[in-house]
A = this chain, B = another copy of it.
Amino acid sequence: MFRTAELGRKVSKEEFDRQAEPLRIELLELQQKLRAADVPVILVFAGVDGAGKSESMNLLNEWLDPRWIVTCAYGPPSDEERERPEFWRFWRDLPPKGRIGQFLSAWYSRPFRDFATGAIDEAAFDEELKRIQAFETTLADDGALILKFWMHLGKEAQKKRLKSLEKDPQQSWRVTAQDWKNWEMYDAFIRAAEHLIARTSVAAARWTIVEGQDHRYRALTVLCSVRDALLHHLERRRRQRQVQAEAAAWPGTPSGTGDAVLPDLVAGLPTVLDTLDMTRTLPKEDYRAALSKQQGRVAVLQRQAREQGISTVLVFEGWDAAGKGGAIRRLTRALDARQLQVIPVAAPTDEEQAQHYLWRFWRQLGRAGRVTVFDRSWYGRVLVERVEGYASQDEWARAFAEIRDFEEQIVQHGMVLCKFWLHITKDEQFARFKDREETPYKRWKLTEEDWRNRDKWDAYEQAINEMVERTSTHSAPWTLVEANDKRHARVKVIRTVAEAMERVMTKS
């Protein structure tokens, strides 16, 4: 795979100087255009030590306007990073739209090293690469331009390079004992690299293998690749927008990756919500005792979870007036406010708007031992954004896979995750809206929008049905809560949380 990157290609100083000035102006102009575009650029530099990874990053900072570039290199994770899923640190560093983020090895670093040194086998490596692929696809689907450079040196060339760096007093610090140890393992590293590149070179995020021996050749290759890709991407993005605008008039079949097709609901036939027994109630005389029993249980569990560093993520979705707020309050009343965060999800801020829609939820994941309650959540993408047309069909359809992947990472990290859909019947909702209208201190809860949403009941029902179907996984199932009776709903919610916490804590 690397034979074409060991040809000893060189660029003379004259040739370099001839190309440099116009190329630089082109790049600066493209960077200006990018700033006005609605896409971020993600550059990854990985490869053989001494082949010019960080030199290339410095070069981009030097040639382009560094104010619009974010450069990220990673050491061992900080404690705040270790307390979240591994990709949290990469999500938080992602460049917003209009900017360039350049990443040194980043998400490739640990899996690559683990496989090359034999710490994990090929099957495990492939699993990790699949996660990476999903991550990059998620970003590319959202419009990101992703360019990955594998900087290569032949075995002998690397040896020479390390030796010559060692001799230069200005550069010798760059060469560490670890570099020589890596060099001994050159062949194993190359085999791992071939495997990695083959599995993660996908249309949306292709690797470019760069011969790293000659610094002028290397510089021109990287810079010209960036220029060409930027030119192409901005143009393609412009056309895409056009096509999308036209296609919006002609909706087709959603294309969520790997998802089976769900037939449209036939009006009148039952959905998953109709499987609920909406007559369930909890008599008032049993409620107090049941509630305080579950609250006590969850209070003890929270303390244990805190001690063990186990975080809990709770998602509340449901019809307007289904009692989300009340259920959340009954639950949080039992919890220690110091370890708790309730996140009300409303319109994204402009910093959030400049990122992938999942970014705002990644950033909210709590530290070890904390409880994070989402009052509405990432499911807005496939509910309100779908029904109201804020997200295109492509966007919400691919969100199912993106959400499954996100939640899998939460669960794999050892966090507790519960997702509640609070269901009420249409009649019950009407009664509650009326009550809110008539009770002075509840009036602020009811808005015009609630009435408008109610008119779209059927469209929401279809969206909910599909959401539950596509995102109820073994590791992150939905809990559907019969909420016509508030007492029943509240106790069921808290009991479900307690059970989920118990399950995770018994495991660990």
* Chain A interfacial positions (CB closer than 8 Å to B): 25, 28-29, 32, 54, 57-58, 60-62, 65-73, 78-80, 102, 104, 170, 173, 296, 303, 325, 328-329, 332-333, 336-344, 349-351, 375, 441, 444
- Decide: A104 and B338 in contact? CB cutoff 8 A: yes
CB neighbours (8 Å) of A339 from chain B are 73
Q: Which residue of B lies closest to A296 (CB)?
A: B170
Count this chain's copies in the assembly: 2
Bound-complex Cα distance A32 to B65 (A): 45
Bound-complex Cα distance A112 to B28 (A): 54
CB neighbours (8 Å) of A80 from chain B are 78-80
- Decide: A71 and B340 in contact? CB cutoff 8 A: yes
Bound-complex Cα distance A73 to B65 (A): 41
Query: Beyond A80-B78, A328-B66, is A58–B170 a contact (Cβ under 8 Å)?
Result: no
Bound-complex Cα distance A40 to B73 (A): 36
User: A412: shortest Cβ distance to chain B, in Å?
Assistant: 23
24 A–B contacts from the bound complex (CB under 8 Å): A25-B441, A28-B441, A29-B444, A32-B444, A57-B337, A57-B338, A58-B333, A61-B333, A62-B332, A67-B343, A68-B344, A71-B340, A73-B339, A78-B78, A78-B79, A78-B80, A104-B338, A170-B296, A173-B303, A349-B350, A349-B351, A350-B350, A350-B351, A351-B351
* Interface pairs A-B: 8 shortest CB-CB: A73-B338, A67-B344, A61-B337, A71-B337, A66-B342, A25-B441, A57-B337, A62-B333
CB neighbours (8 Å) of A349 from chain B are 349-351
Q: Which among A66, A73, A328, A341 has the highest number of chain B CB atoms within 10 Å? A: A66
CB neighbours (8 Å) of A29 from chain B are 441, 444
User: A478: shortest Cβ distance to chain B, in Å?
Assistant: 22
CB neighbours (8 Å) of A173 from chain B are 303
With A65-B325, A80-B80 given, can you name 7 additional A-B contacts, CB distance below 8 Å? Answer: A60-B337, A67-B325, A67-B342, A73-B338, A73-B339, A78-B78, A351-B351
- Decide: A61 and B340 in contact? CB cutoff 8 A: yes
- Decide: B58 and A336 in contact? CB cutoff 8 A: yes
User: A243: shortest Cβ distance to chain B, in Å?
Assistant: 29
Q: Which among A66, A170, A325, A337 has the highest number of chain B CB atoms within 10 Å? A: A337
Bound-complex Cα distance A28 to B337 (A): 18
User: A313: shortest Cβ distance to chain B, in Å?
Assistant: 16
- Decide: A67 and B296 in contact? CB cutoff 8 A: no
User: A250: shortest Cβ distance to chain B, in Å?
Assistant: 35
Q: Which residue of B lies closest to A59 (CB)?
A: B337
Q: Which residue of B lies closest to A331 (CB)?
A: B66
CB neighbours (8 Å) of A66 from chain B are 328-329, 332, 337, 340, 342
Q: Which residue of B lies closest to A72 (CB)?
A: B338
